[in-house]
Amino acid sequence: METSKKTCIAKEAAVQIEARIASLWPGFSATPFILYDDKNYVRFENGDIFTSDKPDSILMGNTATMYKGKVYAIWDTRTWVDSPTIDKVASCLTHEMFHAHQQFNFKVPWANELLFPQYPHTARSIALVVQENKWLQRLAKTDTLDSVLEYLHNIVQLRKLREAEIGAEFIQYDTGSETFEGTASYVEVKMVAAITSMPVEQAAAPYLELLEDNSNLLTGYRRRLYAVGLALCLAADRLWGQWQEEWVGSGKTMYGWICDKIGETACHVNYCDSDTEYNCDEATQLLQTFRRENEQKITAFMSQPLTEITGDIKLLTFDPMNLTCNENYCLHLHGRVKYNGCEHALTAPFLTEIGNNIFDIKRILRLDA
């Protein structure tokens, strides 16, 4: 995207954000932001625009990050497939600005991203997630408060079954990611609704569609958690209205707080716990396809001309949204590493061979220059 177009978009988005952001969440305010790609970037701060016709390798991913001593919301414009509408630009930036707000204002348990590459998907666990998705879809569409409570109770029971299957730490990973990304998706959706004057539920519908497509459940597992967290926030809206400050004060994940509010001990299920109910055959097929596709992606990468890097290697940052793992290999879309005593921003895909965890790197394979 040309610098001039980025500048125009940045100015328009800033106007929309400043006019509405305070109404989205108590105490929420705008941060400086950057729109960038591999050719140039535009930085917006305090009403001023700064442009550069050269890329900056420090900018990586869509996130909130430190840049020149300040926290910025940053967005890679290459991730917009089509020319974005102003509500799309403003809402995406609002999502990342909220991550900055979270860093300084929330004391809740976030996800341990070290666990994501080790996530122990099993057929039964996947089948339970499929079933949970069904209840989440019903949760998003119901008009009655009694049904909201009933569906939340059933989701809790399904998670208890999943916890017995895969372990508490991975359920905690899910609830941490739901909280971090779900609340950010919630303010993102509210920004769309504010700019377009549509109901919040209507603005949320495209985001919640992730819960309807099981074919990408594993490939997009972390993305799914955005939708789950959003659904929980919308349920809180219906049950408790202005709930945000009470939740933040609890110091708990959204899921943990909701369990306390509805009384977890009263949870019940309206169906039997059986493999037939959870369709483990479908789940087994999803798992086999997921593993096969991951292996194929890594094999295809390794068939290209590569440069091997060994020695003392440290992975400084990685993007769990753009990570493919299979056995002891992880394929990164981008990341920051340290080797030969220097830090390197790797903006092209690279492969790591790992030991005990994603940071225990034996070697790096990167595309030949």
- Indicate whether 292 belongs to any domain: no
Residue 206: half-sphere exposure toward Cβ, Cα within 13 Å: 7
Do 23 and 43 belong to one domain? Answer: yes
Give rounded-to-5 percent helix, strand, coil for the chain.
55, 20, 25
- Indicate whether 296 belongs to any domain: no
Q: For residue 128, which amino acid is it?
A: L
- Indicate whether 362 belongs to any domain: yes
pLDDT digits (tens, 9 = 90+) for 101-114: 999 999 988 899 88
pLDDT over 70 at 182, yes or no: yes
The span from the CA of 91 to the CA of 315, in Å, is 31
Residue-range definition of the domain harbouring residue 145? 113-283
Do 277 and 138 belong to one domain? Answer: yes
Q: In DSSP terms, which residues pair with 34 in a beta bridge? A: 43, 74
- Indicate whether 40 belongs to any domain: yes
Q: For residue 81, which amino acid is it?
A: V
- Indicate whether 299 belongs to any domain: no
Do 256 and 330 belong to one domain? Answer: no
Q: Average pLDDT for residues 27-46, to the nearest whole number?
A: 94
Do 98 and 130 belong to one domain? Answer: no
Last residue of a domain, one of 74, 105, 136: 105
Number of domains observed in the structure of the chain = 3
Q: Average pLDDT for residues 280-295, to the nearest whole number?
A: 93
Last residue of a domain, one of 105, 138, 167: 105
Do 68 and 195 belong to one domain? Answer: no
Confidence class for position 327, pLDDT limits 50, 70, 90: confident
Pairing label, strands 33-36, 70-76? parallel
The span from the CA of 246 to the CA of 210, in Å, is 28
Structure tokens at 358: 């994603």
Q: Which residues contact 242 (CB under 8 A, 6 or more apart)?
A: none
pLDDT digits (tens, 9 = 90+) for 243-272: 999 999 999 999 999 999 998 643 444 444
247, 259 Cβ separation under 8 angstroms: no
Q: Average pLDDT for residues 22-31, to the nearest whole number?
A: 97
pLDDT digits (tens, 9 = 90+) for 223-238: 999 999 999 999 999 9
Structure confidence at residue 3 (pLDDT): 85
Q: Average pLDDT for residues 179-206, to the nearest whole number?
A: 97
Mean of the per-residue pLDDT values of the chain: 92
Do 151 and 66 belong to one domain? Answer: no
Residue 353 is inside which H or E element, if any? strand 350-354
The span from the CA of 355 to the CA of 360, in Å, is 5
pLDDT over 90 at 22, yes or no: yes
- Indicate whether 176 belongs to any domain: yes
The span from the CA of 362 to the CA of 309, in Å, is 9
Structure tokens at 74: 């940053």
Q: How far apart are the first and last CA of the chain?
A: 24
Which string of DSSP letters, residue by residue, matches 13-50? HHHHHHHHGGGTSTT-----EEEE-SS-EEEEETTEEE
Residue 146: half-sphere exposure toward Cβ, Cα within 13 Å: 0
Structure confidence at residue 369 (pLDDT): 64
pLDDT over 60 at 276, yes or no: no
Q: Average pLDDT for residues 2-9, to the nearest whole number?
A: 88
Do 228 and 330 belong to one domain? Answer: no
Last residue of a domain, one of 105, 121, 142: 105
- Indicate whether 321 belongs to any domain: yes
pLDDT over 60 at 33, yes or no: yes
Backbone dihedral angles phi then psi of residue 73, each to the nearest 5 degrees: -85, 130
Structure tokens at 215: 């074919």
pLDDT digits (tens, 9 = 90+) for 73-103: 999 999 988 888 999 999 999 999 999 999 9
* Range among 58-72, 178-192, 254-268 with highest mean pLDDT value: 178-192
Do 236 and 362 belong to one domain? Answer: no
pTM of the model: 0.92
The span from the CA of 358 to the CA of 23, in Å, is 40
pLDDT digits (tens, 9 = 90+) for 128-178: 999 999 999 999 999 899 999 999 999 999 999 999 999 999 999 999 999
- Indicate whether 297 belongs to any domain: no
Do 269 and 199 belong to one domain? Answer: yes
Do 168 and 308 belong to one domain? Answer: no
100, 74 Cβ separation under 8 angstroms: no
Q: Which of 162, 108, 132, 149 is nearest to 227 (CA)?
A: 132
Do 22 and 125 belong to one domain? Answer: no
Do 185 and 77 belong to one domain? Answer: no
